[in-house]
Amino acid sequence: MMTSEQIYDLVAYFMKEDAGLPYRYDELSFEQRTFIDALVENFESDADETISNLELTISDLERELIESEIECRQLVRDLQNTGGRLA
């Protein structure tokens, strides 16, 4: 996981300038640093939650895919057992 300083350093200079923030993390005032740290922590928390939700969605989709494959195989067997005739 990246530190607040590493993330802050990735922000484009012009964006920091437009927000009235110094170029380097270690030049932030205590209040600015506290704000940036909280912002990063909240972002990481939201990102972790989003990742967890996506992992659950993937698991659900994989389960549905397996169920569909089983149903498809059963339909193929049924079709073969009827000699290719539809009931």
Residue 31 lies in a domain: yes
Within-domain flag for 86: no
Q: What Cα–Cα distance (Å) separates residue 67 from each residue in 53, 63, 73, 81?
A: 21, 6, 10, 21
Tell me the residue range of the domain where 52 lies: 4-81
21-30 contacts at long range (C-beta below 8 A, 24 or more positions apart): none
Is residue 60, in this structure, part of any structural domain at all? yes
In a domain, 69, yes or no: yes
In a domain, 57, yes or no: yes
Model pLDDT for residues 55-87, shown as the tens digit of each residue: 999 999 999 999 999 999 999 998 888 876 765
- pTM for the whole thing? 0.51
Give 34-81 as a DSSP string: HHHHHHHHHHHHHHHHHHHHHHHHHHHHHHHHHHHHHHHHHHHHHHHH
Q: How many domains does the chain have?
A: 1
Query: How far is it, in rounded angstroms, from Cα 58 to Cα 78?
Result: 30
